[in-house]
């Protein structure tokens, strides 16, 4: 499969360059443009920067130096071709068609003028990213409801543990839904393109972080949840988490939160009750491979909170360094840096909650960090561009296994995490039906016999509109879940309810987006939520499961 994907990408590249050369020759003959010349106005540059930030920066970097996706620099970087060589028509071929390695096709998602503008934008130097210092961050802090004015107990009889926070990415909103009754409790304006939600250790608050770096703190105690504080942590961000440790080193439950910046490359620690900024730490530095290469754009990818120690696991993408950030002194945190592999992305804990499994997706590897002992345990080779989300923990005759899906191929790899023969190796692989990868997330639950895998970024519409379900005991493919009648678009992000007997999936990027709720035992569709307030839902986070790292 990997050979097929590589050949397909090479063919597309050759076709793109061929189209570009032919087009430039014709253009020169007619005098329409100069060979290699590109024009873009200041207004167009601003518009193109916004489109690129929204759609492309996550994989290719805000400064276009690449990570999960290749670099997109006018003169190339020695590994990938110069965008000026590809030219407008060559770049268009990739933008419109995508690649088998996980880049979606943007034809039909971006408009024709937007695609044309991007082809020119990618041939000029990327705009510089300004700094964002502590003084700037403090100016954005907005304490809307002080702590003393908030209720001291829930103002309702609902089960907060089964609340769902649902991201409506393009609308810049978060919906709070009662998972027991399926009622919408609130739709709240938050940051642009919210990436994740993390609940406080107590489950009382949700913290959302938008790709614009804005954190919104949502209080779930009122009958109608409300935003009680806001702050901006970066210009581009992805990750946030709360302090979860309560042990012999102190009680830090819900005391601090941390947010990681893509740009500027830094993390910021805040008071978890008010969002008051406490400290800023830059993550720029040398790469993990000893090449003595200083990397300025060293973006914070994922962050998770340890349950066994007063620290956060901070994964720095470009350097391949895992930082263990001790928050007992939040104004000057002590950081242990562990060299691993480039380019770190997302991951989650094993079933015992001690080893953190993170994808180095450009290296096709999973990095295993022993958090209590602050050391690298293992680096495991898996498939092409692993993208596990937080991964999935299952247990069967092979032992305790942690699973990842892939952007670059259709494999699901199972790594043995408990002691014994085969620990920290891939002991089983299954394949999702259909060519190519495109998987973003997979999910299981301790009370479930199923593993659910999406194919969101596969360019084939018959695959990206489905979710594959496997039996965790036999590894057999059980069913392909398809979008129901009256709903269309891509299916993305699987989340269980607190009991582990329901599965929630988002249908987005279609004409009729929706939330789909399935019975995990029978795999039957139970409910479709597609009211007017549902606007392209993506990630969904159950309070109980997210607090306790159940996946």
Q: Which residues are catalytic?
A: 56, 59-60, 103, 345, 387
| Helix (H) / strand (E) containing 498 | none
307's tokens: 């349950």
Collect contacts of 51-59 with beta carbons under 8 A, ≥24 apart: 51/110, 51/114, 51/117, 51/118, 51/121, 52/118, 52/121, 52/122, 53/211, 53/236, 54/193, 54/211, 55/106, 55/109, 55/110, 56/118, 57/236, 57/262, 58/211, 58/238, 59/103
Q: How far apart are the first and last CA of the chain?
A: 28
**Which residues lie closer than 8 Å to 31 by C-beta, 6 or more apart?**
none
Other beta carbons within 10 Å of 68:
22
Round to whole Å and give the CA distance between 506 and 491: 6
3-state DSSP assignment of residue 43: helix
Round to whole Å and give the CA distance between 323 and 300: 10
Q: Are 492 and 466 in contact (CB under 8 A)?
A: no
Round to whole Å and give the CA distance between 411 and 364: 12
Half-sphere exposure of 270 (CA within 13 A, CB side): 32
Closest CA to 392 of 381, 383, 380, 404: 404
**Which residues lie closer than 8 Å to 78 by C-beta, 6 or more apart?**
none
**Which residues lie closer than 8 Å to 446 by C-beta, 6 or more apart?**
393, 395, 500, 550
Q: Are 221 and 178 in contact (CB under 8 A)?
A: no
Other beta carbons within 10 Å of 290:
8
């Amino acid at each position: 499969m990997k050979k097929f994907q590589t050949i397909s990408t090479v063919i597309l590249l050759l076709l793109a360059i061929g189209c570009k050369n032919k087009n430039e020759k014709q253009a020169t003959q007619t005098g329409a443009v100069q060979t290699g010349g590109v024009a873009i106005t200041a207004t167009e540059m601003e518009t193109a920067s916004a489109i690129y930030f929204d759609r492309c920066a996550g994989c290719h970097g805000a400064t276009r130096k690449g990570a999960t996706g290749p670099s997109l620099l006018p003169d190339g970087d020695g590994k990938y071709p110069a965008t000026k060589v590809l030219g407008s028509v060559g770049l268009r071929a990739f933008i419109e068609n995508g690649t088998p390695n996980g880049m979606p096709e943007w034809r039909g998602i971006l408009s024709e003028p937007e695609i044309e503008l991007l082809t020119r934008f990618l041939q000029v130097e990327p705009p510089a990213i300004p700094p964002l210092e502590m003084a700037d961050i403090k100016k954005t802090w907005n304490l809307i409801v002080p702590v003393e004015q908030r209720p001291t107990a829930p103002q309702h009889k609902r089960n907060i543990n089964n609340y769902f926070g649902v991201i409506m990415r393009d609308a810049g909103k978060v919906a709070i839904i009662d998972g027991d009754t399926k009622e919408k409790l609130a739709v709240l304006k938050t940051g642009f393109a919210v990436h994740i939600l993390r609940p406080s250790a107590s489950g009382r608050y949700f913290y959302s972080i938008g790709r614009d770096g804005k954190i919104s703190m949502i209080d779930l105690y009122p009958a109608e949840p409300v935003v009680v504080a806001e702050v901006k942590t970066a210009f581009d961000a992805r990750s946030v988490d709360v302090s979860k440790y309560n042990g012999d080193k102190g009680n830090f439950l819900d005391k601090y939160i941390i947010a990681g910046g893509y740009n500027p490359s830094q993390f910021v620690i805040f008071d978890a009750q008010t969002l008051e900024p406490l400290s800023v730490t830059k993550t720029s530095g040398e790469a993990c491979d000893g090449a003595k290469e200083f990397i300025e754009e060293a973006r914070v990818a994922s962050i998770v909170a340890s349950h066994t120690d007063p620290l956060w696991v901070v994964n720095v993408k470009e350097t391949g360094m895992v930082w263990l950030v001790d928050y007992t002194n939040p104004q000057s945190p002590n950081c242990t840096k562990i060299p691993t592999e480039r380019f770190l992305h997302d991951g989650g804990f094993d079933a015992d909650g001690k080893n953190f499994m993170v994808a180095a997706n450009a290296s096709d590897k999973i990095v295993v960090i022993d958090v209590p002992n602050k050391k690298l345990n293992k680096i495991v080779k898996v498939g092409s561009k692993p993208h596990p989300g937080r991964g999935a923990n299952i247990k069967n005759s092979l032992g305790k296994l942690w699973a990842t899906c892939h952007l670059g191929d259709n494999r699901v790899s199972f790594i043995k995490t408990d002691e014994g023969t085969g620990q920290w190796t891939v002991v089983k692989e299954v394949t999702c039906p259909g060519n190519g990868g495109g998987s973003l997330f997979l999910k299981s639950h301790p009370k479930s016999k199923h593993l659910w895998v999406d194919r969101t970024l596969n360019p084939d519409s018959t695959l990206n509109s489905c979710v594959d379900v496997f039996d965790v005991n036999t590894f057999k493919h059980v069913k392909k879940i398809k979008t129901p009648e009256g709903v269309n678009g891509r299916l993305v992000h699987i989340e269980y309810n607190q009991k582990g007997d329901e599965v929630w999936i988002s249908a987005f990027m279609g004409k009729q987006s929706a939330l789909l709720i399935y019975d995990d035992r029978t795999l039957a569709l139970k409910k479709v939520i597609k009211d007017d307030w549902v606007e392209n839902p993506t990630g969904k986070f159950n309070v109980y499961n997210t607090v306790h790292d159940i996946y």
